[in-house]
Amino acid sequence: MKADLKEKLESMVELVDNVMVDPDVDIEYFIPEVITTSTEVKEGELPFIVVKYAEDASLERKIHLHEHHYNQSAQEIANFVTFSVEQFKEEIDSLKYGAQ
């Protein structure tokens, strides 16, 4: 991995961790050479972030980082991840409390 991409992804992880402080979700990462906290890795898989609902770990979403994300800034990638996490939380709320 190139040094500038590694630095960008490290910054993205930091931005996401600062914004997504939420007791309802757990966030795991699989970004080789940057951070790996996920155990759900298959060989050759793209870097990803797993978001799990804290009360029911079977409710989860895997957010893949594709090559086109690498051309974006750390803030843009973090915004994409944060938006995806918020969508996941809304879907869980809809399941838990019904559509509103």
- In a structure prediction context, what are the per-residue pLDDT tens digits for the chain, which is 100 residues long? 788 999 999 999 999 999 888 888 999 999 988 888 766 666 677 889 999 998 887 899 999 999 999 999 999 999 999 999 999 999 988 887 775 5
Give the residue among 41, 57, 49, 46 at the shortest CA–CA distance from 92. 57
CA 98/CA 100 separation, integer angstroms: 6
Residue count (the chain): 100
| DSSP bridge pairs for 64 | 48
CA 65/CA 99 separation, integer angstroms: 30
pTM for this prediction: 0.85
Side chain identity, residue 57? A
